[in-house]
Structure 1
Amino acid sequence: MDTKGTGDDTTGILDEALERLHASGPERDDWLSNHAPMAVEALVRHGHAPRVHRWLDAYRDRLEDMPAPSVRVTADTWREALGDPARITDWTRFFEAETEERPWRDVLAEWWPRLLPGIAGGATHPVIRVGHAVRTLLAGEATAPRRAELAHALGYWAARHAPLPPLGTLAAAPTAAAALDAVPAAAVQDGGIRERLARLTAFPQWGSAAGPDEARDRLAELVTAATHRYAAHAHGSPVMLVHAATAPNAVLRTLPALPRELWVPSLGAAWAASAAVTAAYRPREPVPYETGPLHAGEVLERAAVHGDEHVIKFADTALDVGDAAALTAAVRAVELIDPLEG
């Protein structure tokens, strides 16, 4: 098995799965995210397409129908609908029309800078879903289900768009790892992520870049640092701290589809998202964690058998990083997060 990714899906299973999922909304129970499109993309990417439909059968109780539409979003009225979760279906229909009528890269380039300030909205799930959708489109043919998946992802992001509160700047950190270590915990660590993010006050200065190439390299550094950090800090919130790595990795995956002038601001937004999740769920103390020698294929297999969507997506990011510390972190997620039942 190619543990670095199989590229385009020639089985047709991914398109089948996406078509099956597009009758479902991006959330359930008014807030919890539908992770299925992201998880099945990761499974197919790493050679586990035969598992996909069985996995969806086990996940089906976590799916809800798309909400009823309200008022059509247009090029003239979109600002009043931005950040309104009641308009999820309106936004999805808007982006479905956009990606049918225009090249998907043009749609993405126009809307990425508009959506980027709200990257933490929806607990970062919308941008993560965009990253999976873009990776699929870059890997092969832009089929109708894959373009529709990008539309659903962008619609989710627009509906859940939520900027962070005004933040002060703490002392500069020399590396991404040092910057994450210096992120102060939210003043009160209780409640959901929206309540926790509202309490943030300041982040260390990190993430400036002189140009696009440096921005890409620093973003990769951030993904690596956040992935490594998970192993010793995941006990703070095993599910939520996954997003400190998967959110910036979604941005990194999207960069090749974006104009280069958007790469530097993308780094800044990714740092804000990763730091925000880190602050919201930071444990009091790290807990050292080690495991024996690991192989990438073994780690992805364990994640696929485990079945939890966060475990699958985090293992996918760990394989992108590719080193022993990242694989160790992925195994930590397998151990700490409850498996999918069904």
Structure 2
Amino acid sequence: MTYDALDDAYDRLRSTGPEFNGWLSNHGPMAAEALARHGHGEEIPAWLDDYCQRLEAAPGSRRRIRDWRTALGDPRRLGDWLGFFEDQIEDQPWAEILRSWWPRLVPGIAAGATHGVIRVGHAVRLLREEGQSAARLAELAQGLGYWASRWQPVPGAVIPEGTLAADAAVAALPQIPNQNGGIQSRLAQLEEVQGWQTAQQAMAPSTDWEHFLRDLVTAAVRRYASHAHGNPVMLVHAATAPNAVLRTLPSLPNDQWAASAGAAWSASAAIHAAYVAHDGKSLATAPTSSADAFDLAAHHGDEHVIKLADTAIDVYSWTGDDRALAAVQTAADLIERE
């Protein structure tokens, strides 16, 4: 497997900003990494030709980040944060930067509708498993900078300390009363939802946080297969955000795992509470294999379908559950490519 096309894509995307048209996140790097990983690297240039028409230029840096605590979560400092991490990545090994900044960033996991952590998760997986290049290091810096500028905690987040398995815990989550508006207005309702914190606490913790996250990602993908019609785009992130944390764990010290898994659960739970449909629907017919599922996503072309397929295939590799592949068909059926 070659990643030359992905490095070229990262170089091409580096001049674009992490957001466009307001708060919409630039999915180009994440989708390109998934395409390369699943054997569709030759399709990346044409895919970017189309996708890049929607993007905006990267913001410039106005002044240096000197007190990171006061600048954290300030979207006006986006260009400054991008420049900060570009400097960091030139001076230190990427794994050291990640270990230092992850515990500062992960409490704000809701940043950019969880796209900060998702983008970092794609970059870390690539660096750890396929080795580093200048383009890959720059992509990690971009992801960290985006996360820092949009840093946002999940309202009312609490750690799991109950007895429910992941599927039951996800199914028992309450819903916000007003299912209209964007993610900011939806998340703002969470602390007023009766039972929100209790429902988070009800999930059973674990002494094996990788296993905890696999179960959480699996539950979110299964839920997507039957309930994605609530909001098929946003509910992708209920699965891909905790999977980004799972992909990052091997690059983190063990003493950061429990807090990371707890944050991943709160983020996934918040998205379910804000967007999931109340009633389930019959499952779509599942593709016959992982390869067919990703081929379906790549042919569809939408960045959310591609990212959902990438995570659903992980779930299928862990479980052999056809519901994971059915989720890919559901995404392809419900999401229209722009």
1:336 matched to 2:334? The reply is yes
Q: Secondary structure at the match of 1:131?
A: helix
Classify 1:150/1:60 alpha carbon distance in 2 versus 1 (closer, same or farther; 3 Å). same
Classify 1:301/1:210 alpha carbon distance in 2 versus 1 (closer, same or farther; 3 Å). closer
Does the 8 Å contact 1:92/1:152 carry over to 2?
A: yes
* Cα shift at 1:292: 4.8
Q: Aligned partners of 1:239, 1:270: CA distance in 2, in Å?
A: 18
Classify 1:151/1:46 alpha carbon distance in 2 versus 1 (closer, same or farther; 3 Å). same
Does the 8 Å contact 2:85/2:144 carry over to 1?
A: yes
Classify 1:127/1:11 alpha carbon distance in 2 versus 1 (closer, same or farther; 3 Å). closer
Matches within 5 A, 1:257-272: 257-272=251-266
Does the 8 Å contact 1:207/1:218 carry over to 2?
A: no
1:318 matched to 2:308? The reply is no
Q: Aligned partners of 1:226, 1:43: CA distance in 2, in Å?
A: 22
After TM superposition, the structure 1 stretch with the greater mean CA deviation from structure 2, 177-186 or 282-291, is 282-291
Classify 1:306/1:290 alpha carbon distance in 2 versus 1 (closer, same or farther; 3 Å). closer
Q: Aligned partners of 2:331, 2:206: CA distance in 1, in Å?
A: 35
Q: 1:218 matched to which residue of 2?
A: 212
Q: Aligned partners of 1:266, 1:167: CA distance in 2, in Å?
A: 12
Does the 8 Å contact 2:110/2:267 carry over to 1?
A: yes
Q: Aligned partners of 1:168, 1:149: CA distance in 2, in Å?
A: 31
Q: 1:112 matched to which residue of 2?
A: 102
Q: Aligned partners of 1:327, 1:210: CA distance in 2, in Å?
A: 27
Classify 1:167/1:47 alpha carbon distance in 2 versus 1 (closer, same or farther; 3 Å). closer
Classify 1:242/1:144 alpha carbon distance in 2 versus 1 (closer, same or farther; 3 Å). same
State the AA in 2 paired with 1:326: A
1:69 matched to 2:61? The reply is yes
Q: Aligned partners of 2:232, 2:126: CA distance in 1, in Å?
A: 27
Q: Secondary structure at the match of 2:154?
A: coil
Does the 8 Å contact 1:207/1:267 carry over to 2?
A: no
Does the 8 Å contact 1:82/1:159 carry over to 2?
A: yes
| Aligned partner of 2:153 among 155, 163, 175 | 163
Q: Aligned partners of 2:39, 2:240: CA distance in 1, in Å?
A: 20
Q: Aligned partners of 1:59, 1:281: CA distance in 2, in Å?
A: 26
State the AA in 1 paired with 2:41: A
| Aligned partner of 1:281 among 275, 280, 284 | 275
Deviations 1:73-101 (A, max 9, x none): 13xx1111100111111101111111111
Does the 8 Å contact 1:167/1:200 carry over to 2?
A: no
Does the 8 Å contact 2:162/2:205 carry over to 1?
A: no
Deviations 1:223-257 (A, max 9, x none): 01101110111000010000000000000000111
* Cα shift at 1:139: 1.5
Q: 1:31 matched to which residue of 2?
A: 23
* Cα shift at 1:121: 1.6
Does the 8 Å contact 2:3/2:36 carry over to 1?
A: no
Corresponding residue pairs, total: 328
| Structure 2 gap ranges (5+) | none
Q: Aligned partners of 1:73, 1:290: CA distance in 2, in Å?
A: 49
* Cα shift at 1:168: 7.2
Q: Secondary structure at the match of 2:62?
A: coil
Q: 2:32 matched to which residue of 1?
A: 40
Q: Aligned partners of 1:294, 1:313: CA distance in 2, in Å?
A: 19
Please give the root-mean-square deviation of Cα atoms over the aligned residues, in Å: 1.6
Classify 1:293/1:304 alpha carbon distance in 2 versus 1 (closer, same or farther; 3 Å). closer
Q: Aligned partners of 1:170, 1:187: CA distance in 2, in Å?
A: 23
Q: Which runs of 4+ in 1 moved over 6 A?
A: 168-171
Does the 8 Å contact 1:187/1:200 carry over to 2?
A: no
Does the 8 Å contact 2:124/2:140 carry over to 1?
A: yes
Classify 1:172/1:33 alpha carbon distance in 2 versus 1 (closer, same or farther; 3 Å). same
Does the 8 Å contact 1:18/1:145 carry over to 2?
A: yes
Q: Aligned partners of 1:79, 1:13: CA distance in 2, in Å?
A: 37
Q: 1:183 matched to which residue of 2?
A: 173
Does the 8 Å contact 2:163/2:204 carry over to 1?
A: no
| Structure 1 gap ranges (5+) | 1-5
Deviations 1:29-77 (A, max 9, x none): 1200000000000000011000000000010122100123222113xx1
Classify 1:124/1:326 alpha carbon distance in 2 versus 1 (closer, same or farther; 3 Å). same
Does the 8 Å contact 1:176/1:206 carry over to 2?
A: no
Q: Secondary structure at the match of 1:240?
A: coil
Matches within 5 A, 1:54-133: 54-74=46-66, 77-133=67-123
State the AA in 1 paired with 2:283: Y
Does the 8 Å contact 2:286/2:327 carry over to 1?
A: no
* Cα shift at 1:285: 1.1
Matches within 5 A, 1:1-12: 6=1, 10-12=2-4
Q: Aligned partners of 1:68, 1:293: CA distance in 2, in Å?
A: 44
Does the 8 Å contact 2:31/2:303 carry over to 1?
A: yes
Identity over the aligned pairs, expressed in percent? 52
